[in-house]
Structure 1
Amino acid sequence: MSATDRQKIVDSVPQTGFFGHPKGLFTLFFTEFWERFSYYGMRAILVYYMYYEVSKGGLGFPEDMALSIMSIYGSLVYMSGIIGGWLADRIFGTSKAVFYGGVLIMFGHILLAIPGNATLFFSSMIMIVLGTGLLKPNVSSIVGEIYSEQDNRRDAAFSIFYMGINLGGFISPLIVGAVGMNNFHLGFSIAAIGMFIGLIVYVVTRTKNLGLAGTIVHNPIPAEQKKKLFTWIGIGLVILALLVTVGILTGALTFKTFIKIVGVLGLLIPTMYFIVMYRSPKTTAVERSRIVAYIPLFIASIMFWAIQEQTSTVLASFADKRTQLDFAGIHISPAWFQSLNPLFIIALAPAFAWIWLKLGNRQPTIPQKFSLGLLFAGLSFLVILIPAYFGGANSLVNPLWLVLSYFIVVIGELCLSPVGLSATTKLAPAAFTAQMMSMWFLSNAAAQAINAQIVKFYTPDTEMLYFGVIGGVAIVLALILFLFSPKIQNFMKGIR
């Protein structure tokens, strides 16, 4: 997208009206709030729905299989962002991508709300994966579009936007968790309603508040090439369907094989995308330098999310089976722990936004913020070692240890995640705006693809080794990134 187009979009958006920010931030804030309400509400009970016995309303999957499925699902959710980013950049723009994605997510949750079998379950997962791939990266890209590159409100805007994400994430596990742990399908129904409300907010307010943001196709496919491209895509999908069918019928495609395939794709796809963007004739010399700077940030992000995303797998199991749930006179639903992360972000995000604004040019650089995020992520896992060391593998852990672990990783998340969103919009080549945002979410996909391989090693007997090794590796990587921060900053060519 040219500088002229960028300014044209900014000029079309009312630049005040939402706490000193453009009115469009209101639309994007509440659209993402309701999408995250539906997603995190569903996710809070999903792993329990998989491994709880059929007599308790679950699917009766083995627990290690449920943990791996949860990681694979999370990986595919973010991996599909590449498809959503490509469709937005080249075919119908980010605004339509957000709408289509919301519709798919809503119907995916409706399928979950229908009592059924594993086939219905996996069908719903496919719809949610594709829908989130369309909505998630593109709604964040639109946030970047409503600000000029020199606008100092940009980082603060992403912190506010991130707070909206987590406000939805805080409320939904409390509601869906309370209802869904007694009736899973009723809980999933609440998630579907949440996405429906988000769609209403988006459709009603986008024209007035967003102007041209999201409507411009940045790198459109020439009309004469569309038919040929769609033909090849159709042929590819048919071949893929045939290969999957043959693999299942012959036994060559098993669940373990699928996990390995997703693990390889989680690392191979972003590698290929970095190469394509770097070598593209549409990428300038300055943009190539910024892509090089983005690579170590991407690697750090993978390590961070590999820890943070285990809140819905290993730490969810820890909450269910290793935590004292009758505490201070109340019975705690294990799903409620999923609200801790967004709760702490809601409390701390305004403080972090204020700190970055107050420090101005004296604030840590982007690579330094990433190293801090990774450091706190590692410490959050090391904290779990303490009750495991003193109490052993068979005792129930005071829930405050889990609360402390969540609190520490949130500090890291606020150093890394909103900063990463903002940095992605700044470092993105003009021809790959939405796809670069998809790359950011691919770091989460890669992290969860790796998690699918390693969560099976977690047991109460291996707790100390499991948390200690992963936490220690994160801290070492944080120190390395901090040492190389000045060099990385030089490759950013003026971006801070």
Structure 2
Amino acid sequence: MSKTNNEFFETQVLGHPSGLFVLFFTEMWERFSFYGMRALLVLFLVSALGIGGWDWPRENALALYGTYLALLYLTPIIGGTLADKYLGNRKAIIIGAIIMTLGHASMAIESNPFFLYLGLGLLVIGTGFFKPNMSSFISILYQDFPEKKDGAYTIFYMGVNAGAFLGIMLCGYLGETLGWGWGFGLAGIFMLLGLLQFTLAQGIFGEAGSKPNKVDKTIETDDHSKIEDKLNPFTLIDKLLIVIVATLGLTWIINDPLSKIGGVNFLEFGGTDYSSQTIIITLILFLYLLISRIVRYSEITRDKMIAVVIFAFFIIFFWASFEQAGGSMSIFAKDYTSRILSGNSALIFNIIDIIITVVPIAIITWVLFLLFKQTFKKYFLSNLILGFSFVLIWAIVIWKIYNNFNTYSYEISYNTYQVTEKNSEGIESTKTFAITAETKIPENATIVENNTVIRSSNDFVKSDEISIIDIDKKGVKFKYLTEDKASEINTSIKASIIRKKENEIEIPATWFLILNSLFIIAFAPLFSKWWESKYNPKPANKYAIGLFFLGIGFAFLAFGSSGIPQGAKTASVSIIWLILAFLFHTLGELCVSPVGLSYVSKLVPARMIAFMFGVWYLALAIGNKASGQMGAMIDDITAKYDISTFFLIFTFVPMIIGVIAFLLNPVLKKLMHGVK
């Protein structure tokens, strides 16, 4: 055993090396920044110009969202390869963290499109360096202690979920309450703090991860014996096909939002859009490449690789539906869900929100204290930065709690004008318009006083004159504007305070996204017990169960939105449907997540492992891109049918694929040749 490994295991926190918790907090802040930004992206893009959004069509926003997620799963293939051959894990992590910090800083300048696109690009590149090397770094550190590896990964992934939970809650809250730039900026601040904390504590890892990894050309079987793989080199045709498929696939992924948003279509020739043909040809070439590689192996090896391909097929459909969370489900939370609570409901929600905010942070702060006791003197600066991070977190949380209890609802009145118009069939209809600073009232218009409700931390009294803005230009929801802001916006509306309404709150649309992390933390121990019991399902059955849970979650949304009329852009359905949807989606994720990459490493021969990991990440990329493509149909389907029909698609598709997974279980069991 190396001296460096002995040093790594010298100091203990909760039965594990202190160095593991350096990685825990580094990953936590990275996930904080990623999920915090992800929670805001689509909402920012579709929100009205008057509140700092870009007022994009939902289709455009979801196209960009899907492309961003897809690219996040492609760049780790490159970043992991560069780390293995040239950089080493630690340098790759630091490079990735620096690039991601710059990306978040760029996105904080959200009013300029160039900086938003630059920020997304930098985040994609930085994630490619950071993400694959954090997980593999733990494997390197624990290579002499395989019996401790499962526990180490469990703690590490608690950091992932803690970061996701805090990032969505705090970045989302600041973004929706103070402004989008505050949310994007906070994500960048914690990415920077995570980078500094990791960089200054590197000595705790000894020499581990500082040099490129030596690639082992063998694969470990279930009995831990080593078997040599027959040489099966990539031919010139293989390499040529990889380049063609990668080029065409990336072009299609990037071209999709570019053609919708920028009007630039790289796949249009002679006035005809060849996007569909391009992706079909790309998939055919890729399948040929995959099949031609697989058939060159022996029968048993070939069978195992076919099993991996089938699992990858299932994963496409799972993530295409699951990733609606940050897309169409965020839009549903914003526009179709009743997020206003009053009276006892408001008080109960505030108490629950405080508990689920404070308790997890208190537990993580306790872990931080244990780490301080072991490493504070030796790694003073790193711990100082980590301590400052938590002081900042607690300050934001205390401000959030204070702000929630000191923000009031006011009933206000404002003037509108009504005009009566005839359509082409001679049928009369009355339309109502808000009166803004730039409004020219028609001569035949009738002035009508309307009432609505706004929320503000200002303490107004009856008859106070204020300025408001119609958030979504639908005459449904309004926001208070300071006089400075109102003077800059021509669409501001003059209003008057009627009365203060007590005990009324508005749940931020981003709040619902924290439920996934919360449910994972709550249910993961139960699922872990399930997997260790004699009732542990077969791999294909786990996929089937996960897909069924996913479909059930969307069934709740379909049922809850069944009363929303065709073409409606807004509604006020109960929050219970979103809560139930996130619960069952999380249960589905807990079924699918244990099966993934571990089976790739067990089933695939060594010489093909990099290629098959690439196939797996490609499946994830396709699934995430498909989430944006399918989510972008929300307006068309809502207009032609209704939003309940939109969610029914995501109910039936996963369930049908789940049935297929269940039926294929005997076939997969045979293909896996006893691998468990």
Report the TM range for the smaller structure's normalisation. 0.7 to 0.9
Describe how 1:287-436 pairs up with structure 2 within 5 A: 288-327=302-341, 328-329=345-346, 330-357=505-532, 359=533, 363-390=536-563, 392=565, 394=568, 395-431=571-607, 436=612
Q: Which residue of 1 aligns with 2:99?
A: 104
1:444 maps to: 620
**1:124 Cα deviation (Å)?**
1.1
SS of 2:595 mapped into structure 1: helix
Query: What displacement does 1:159 show?
Result: 4.2
Look up the equivalent residue of 2:26 and give its one-letter code: T
Q: Distance in 2 between matches of 1:138 and 1:215?
A: 12
Deviation larger for 390-399 or 204-213:
204-213
Deviation sequence 1:3-27 (CA, Å, 0-9, x none)? xx9x999899649945445655434
State the TM-score, normalizing by the size of structure 2: 0.61
Out of 634, 650, 656, the residue aligned to residue 470 of structure 1 is 650
Deviation of 1:294 (Å): 1.1
Tell me: CA distance 1:20–1:471, structure 2 relative to 1, closer, same or farther (3 Å).
farther
Tell me whether 1:114 sits opposite 2:109 in the alignment: yes
Report the Cα distance in structure 1 between the residues aligned to 2:290 and 2:116, rounded to whole angstroms. 34
Check conservation: 1:147, 1:154, Cα contact below 8 A: yes
Residue in 2 that maps onto 1:173: 168
**Aligned amino acid, residue 339 of structure 2:** L
State the Cα distance separating 1:354 from its structure 2 match.
Answer: 3.6
Q: Aligned runs of 1:50-61 on 2, under 5 Å?
A: 50-61=45-56
Distance 1:150 1:276 in 2: 39
* Aligned partner letter, 1:253: F
CA distance in 1, matches of 2:134, 2:121: 20
Q: 1:402 to 1:426 in 2, by over 3 A?
A: same
- Partner Cα distance (2:66, 2:180) in 1: 20
Total equivalences in the alignment = 469
Q: Assess if the C-alpha contact under 8 Å between 1:34 and 1:194 holds in 2.
A: yes
> One-letter code of the match for 1:184?
W
The structure whose RCO (Cα within 8 Å, separation 6+) is larger is: 1
* Structure 2 partner of 1:186: 182
Separation in structure 2 between the aligned mates of residue 261 and residue 205 of structure 1, nearest angstrom: 51
Gap change, CA 1:59 and 1:414, over 3 Å in 2? same
1:195 aligns with 2:371: no
Q: Provide structure 1 residue ranges, at least 5 long, that are not aligned to the other structure.
A: 221-228
Moved more, 45-54 or 347-356: 347-356
Q: What CA distance in whole angstroms lies between the structure 2 residues aligned with 1:473 and 1:195?
A: 37
| Alpha-carbon separation, structure 1, partners of 2:671 and 2:21 | 34
Q: 1:267 to 1:376 in 2, by over 3 A?
A: farther
What is the DSSP-based 3-state SS (H/G/I as helix, E as strand, rest coil) of the residue aligned with 2:338? coil
SS state at 1:136 partner: helix
Aligned AA (1:404): L
Of 130-139 and 105-114, the range deviating more from structure 2: 130-139
Residues 206-242 of structure 1 deviation map (CA, whole Å, 9 limit, x = unaligned)? 553475357443459xxxxxxxx9xxx9xx99xx99x
CA distance in 1, matches of 2:586, 2:32: 18
In the alignment, is the contact (CA less than 8 A) between 2:327 and 2:628 conserved in 1? no
1:319 to partner: Cα distance: 0.4
**Residues 485-496 of structure 1 aligned to structure 2 (within 5 Å):** 485-496=665-676
Does the Cα contact within 8 Å between 2:165 and 2:517 map onto a contact in 1?
Answer: yes
Higher strand share: 2
Write out per-residue CA displacement over residues 304-346 of structure 1, whole angstroms, 9 at most, x where no aligned residue.
1111101111001000000001023221110111211111112
* Aligned equivalents of 1:166, 1:132: Cα separation in 2: 17
What is the CA–CA distance in structure 2 between the aligned matches of 1:114 and 1:350, rounded to whole Å? 41
Partner of 1:223: none
Query: In the aligned structure 2, how far is the partner of 1:424 from the partner of 1:448?
Result: 20
Higher mean displacement: 153-162 or 469-478? 153-162
Match of 1:479 among 641, 647, 659: 659
TM-score, structure 1 normalization: 0.81
Aligned-residue offset at 1:140? 2.5
**Contact persistence 2:324–2:628 (CA under 8 A):** no
The answer for the alignment partner of 1:40 in structure 2 is 35
Letter in 2 for 1:94: N
Provide the aligned C-alpha RMSD in A. Answer: 4.0
Q: Distance in 2 between matches of 1:18 and 1:449?
A: 40
* Contact 2:52/2:179, CA 8 A, preserved across alignment: yes
Which structure dedicates a bigger proportion of its chain to helix?
A: 1
User: Equivalent pairs: percent with the same residue?
Assistant: 31
C-alpha distance in structure 2 between counterparts of 1:277 and 1:11, whole Å = 42
What is the alpha-carbon distance in structure 2 between the residues aligned to residue 133 and residue 143 of structure 1? 17
Equivalent residue, structure 1, for 2:88: 93
The residue correspondences of 1:159-308 to structure 2 (distance < 5 A) are 159-181=154-176, 182-209=178-205, 212-213=208-209, 215-219=211-215, 251-253=264-266, 271=287, 274=290, 278=294, 288-308=302-322
Residues 123 and 270 (structure 1), Cα distance of their counterparts in 2 relative to 1, 3 Å cut: farther
Structure-1 residue corresponding to 2:392: none
Query: Does 2:298 match 1:123?
Result: no
5 Å-filtered alignment, 1:147-166, equals 147=142, 151=146, 154=149, 157-166=152-161
Distance across 1 between alignment mates of 2:274 and 2:319:
21
Post-superposition shift, 1:271? 5.0
Letter in 1 for 2:516: N
Alpha-carbon distance change, 156 to 366 in structure 1, aligned in 2, over 3 angstroms: farther
* AA matched with 2:30: E
CA distance in 1 between partners of 2:673 and 2:206 (Å): 30
- Aligned partner of 2:629 in structure 1 is 453
Conserved in 1, the CA contact under 8 Å of 2:106 and 2:119? yes
Q: 1:481 to 1:18 in 2, by over 3 A?
A: farther
Unaligned runs of 5+ in 2: 217-238, 347-504
User: Quick one: distance in 1 between partners of 2:627 and 2:19?
Assistant: 36
Q: 2:286 and 2:142 mapped to 1: Cα distance? A: 27
Question: Given that residues 219 and 431 in structure 1 are in contact (C-alpha distance below 8 angstroms), is that contact kept between their aligned partners in structure 2?
Answer: no
Q: Determine helix, strand or coil for the equivalent of 1:389.
A: coil
How much does 1:475 deviate?
1.1
Give the stretch that moved more between structures: 303-312 or 326-335. 326-335
CA distance in 1, matches of 2:632, 2:551: 20
